[in-house]
Structure 1
Amino acid sequence: MTDTLARATPSLRAPAEDGAALQPTRDLHATLPDLLDSLLNKGVYLDLDLIITVADIPLIGVNLRAAIAGIETMLEHGMMRNWDEQTRAWVRQSLARHVPLEPDEEVVARMAGGHRQDEPATVWRPGTVYLTTRRLLVWRADPRELLWQAALDDVTHVEVRTELAIGGEERERLAVTTPAGTTLLSAAAPDRLAALLRSGGASGPARPSAGHQAPVWYREERAGPSVWRGGTGTLGPDGLTWQGVGEARPAVRLREVREVQARTGRAPVGRQVLVVTGDSGTVLLATRDAAWARALAASAHAPRGGDS
């Protein structure tokens, strides 16, 4: 009869005079949600030696060093960046084969929806609603047709309206106002789409109170070539933050903006690069939102509460 025995030895050890390795502990009160929360938010680093024996004869040895955490935590600490960029590039290439995206244009959200055409007759045309870093559009895959689009800079107001459908039931519609007028869109999640549009620069009474937000590109410096990444820039009482699309935490946080310089250079939007110097360093940004850029420049000269 054979038996299998596995021993795990932590890498952390007690002081030399103690002479014994630290032993693993077990919290009987920890629940599965507690463990998952710790794993996703903080991460776990495994450093163990595993020995498998049969009949007290060591046969297999495993030396394991592994870091396990949520993707957002991994990216925040500089891990799996290549995977992240490859995944984003694959998504962009995949979408570009079906949707007419512009160079460096990234999809922020997409959902089933449609566009109401009022001329020559009122009719709903179904498709897919895409919110990108540059525009809002409704695309039909078969036959391929761009049903409607508007640049984010042209969106002046958004609101969710409740209307009666043909069958008499109530439906929520997204009303998008541009210089050309107001257009009604249907969407699987109109409230979420409206919130994203408002945070992307559309004016209106429901603008988030956290601060002035706009679509902003951030140039991330790396060991190799630097990369421009699309996301959202926020100006508020706590300074400047920039958060990438789909990320849970801001990658840039300047609690005090000290200087803003506009330079001509290559950028994913326009020909102007904003060199922003703050309390924790200097970052390069680019945006089409001129009002946001002016607010950023003005924040460099505004006195901060508590400063003398």
Structure 2
Amino acid sequence: MGESAPLQPTRDPRVTLPDLVEVLLNKGVYLNLDLIIAVADIPLIGVNLRATLAGLETMLEYGMMRQWDERTRAWVQRSVARQVPLLPGEELVARMSGGVYADGFHHSWRPGTVYLTDRRLLVFRREPAEMLWQAPWEGIRAAGLCAERTVGGEERQRLQAEMVDGTSHLLSAADPEQLLALVQPRLRGRGATQEASATQAPAAPAREAHAWYQEMRAGSVLWRGGTARLERHAGLTWRSPLDARAAVSLAPRDIVDVEVRWGRTPRGQTHVLALTTADGTVLLAPDDAPGWAELIREITEKPASSGQVAEVDSGAHRR
């Protein structure tokens, strides 16, 4: 993906407050202000202001506030090191709530926090402090997702780690797809063989790229920047860098139809994916919407829609 285009100023005297909020979050606002405060026509105070206001996602996307982001990440690293028994020089990559299936005397799930570091994958419980499970990267042969039906009948995805010694371990996570996306590059980097059964996700996503997602907030339409990920068995997901969970998560069976529309996004007039589901329509704007539509039809076995490219509507859908 190429570099983002520079921020461009726009002027429109008809804008309303929701329009301003949308621009502030999606594109940003640059203030160039010279203000003189006078009393009885005598100038007393001068204000010279140069400021850029934007949503944090937009700031980071355009290279702003990176020092703050790096300092925050370093602070998180030090904070975690005081709570979790990390090895000397070990660096935290990601963490999320989860657990591990204990296949011992008692067959049950043990809740904790899943930590991914540059050396290993582990599940740790803080209170009482206990290492529930851990494995160095060289000890994991392959990883994938598998479906498990809970006692209540709900189907949930688990991360299945196949070990070099022939054993297999199940891990739960708040976002299994994201955890798998973080784990697989570590395994591929070691030259490990990635295997996927009928119940597991493939070794790599069919496609992954930056995309804009349209949702409704406070009664107005908002486009948010994030990453769209398409996998042949897991389906389509989208999440922003600040989301704890995927805002869009559609299994192949959830997608009723897919078409390419023409609409206005933060990139300007461009092609937009319109995904029809039982709950509504999901609008995504990746770099190559027609290519994504073709791949989604292949994965979901949906025929291409006929007719002209339509204008994108204002509907939004959030899972």
Matched, 1:107 2:104: no
Out of 104, 127, 130, the residue aligned to residue 115 of structure 2 is: 130
Amino acid at match of 1:201: L
User: What pairs with 1:144-183 in structure 2 (closer than 5 Å)?
Assistant: 144-180=129-165, 181-183=167-169
Ranges of 4+ aligned residues in structure 1 off by more than 6 Å:
none
Q: Say if 1:36 and 1:178 are closer, same or farther in 2 by CA, change over 3 A.
A: farther
- Contact 1:199–1:208 (8 Å) recurs in 2: no
Checking the alignment, whether the CA contact within 8 Å between 2:145 and 2:157 is kept in structure 1 is yes
State whether residues 128 and 138 of structure 1, in contact with CA within 8 Å, keep that contact through their aligned partners in structure 2.
Answer: yes
- Answer yes or no: is 1:207 the counterpart of 2:193: no
- d(CA) in 1 for partners of 2:69 and 2:126? 27
Percent identity among equivalent residues? 54
Cα offsets for 1:28-79 (capped at 9, x unmatched): 268846x567556665443321112344443321111223445566567765
Q: Given the two structures, how large is their TM-score scaled by the length of structure 2?
A: 0.49
Which deviations, in whole Å up to 9, do the C-alpha atoms of 1:71-107 show, x marking residues without a partner?
5665677654543332222111111111122344443
**Separation (CA, whole Å) in 2 of partners of 1:164 and 1:61:** 67
Contact 2:142–2:187 (CA under 8 A) maintained in structure 1: no
The answer on whether the counterparts of 2:99 and 2:111 sit within 8 Å (CA) in structure 1 is yes
Q: Which residue of 1 aligns with 2:177?
A: 191
Tell me whether 1:93 sits opposite 2:90 in the alignment: no
Amino acid at match of 1:95: V
Q: List per-residue Cα deviations over 1:170-192 (Å, max 9, x = no partner).
A: 33322111213210112222222
- Number of the residue aligned with 2:249: none
**Distance between the aligned counterparts of 1:115 and 1:163, measured in 2?**
13
- Hey, what does 1:218 align to over in structure 2? none
Select 1:119's aligned residue among 101, 104, 107. 104
- Can you list the C-alpha shifts for 1:234-274, whole angstroms capped at 9, x where unaligned? xxxxxxxxxxxx69xxxxxxxxxxxxxxxxxxxxxxxxxxx
Would the alpha carbon gap of residues 135 and 40 (structure 1) be closer, same or farther in structure 2, given more than 3 Å must change? Answer: farther
Question: Is residue 2:38 matched to residue 1:53?
Answer: yes
Spell out the pairing of 1:263-278 with structure 2 (5 A cutoff). Answer: none
* Runs of at least 5 residues in structure 2 that lack an aligned partner in the other structure: 1-9, 189-193, 196-201, 209-240, 243-319
Distance 2:15 2:58 in 1: 25
Q: CA deviation at 1:108?
A: 3.2
| CA deviations over 1:166-211 (Å, ceiling 9, x no partner) | 4444333221112132101122222221222224435243413569
Q: Output the CA distance in 2 between the equivalents of 1:57 and 1:79.
A: 39
- Structure 1 spans left out of the alignment, 5+ residues: 1-23, 212-245, 248-308
> Structure 2 matches for 1:10-29, cutoff 5 A?
25-28=11-14
Q: What is the TM-score of this pair, normalised by structure 1?
A: 0.51
What's the secondary structure of 1:208's corresponding residue? coil
Deviation sequence 1:107-131 (CA, Å, 0-9, x none): 3332221111212342321111122
Query: Equivalent residues in 2 for 1:246-285 (5 A)?
Result: none
- Structure with greater Cα Rg: 1
3-state SS of paired residue (2:160): strand
Contact 1:198 1:208 in 2 (8 A): no
Aligned match for 1:140, one of 110, 125, 141:
125
How many residue pairs end up in the alignment? Answer: 190
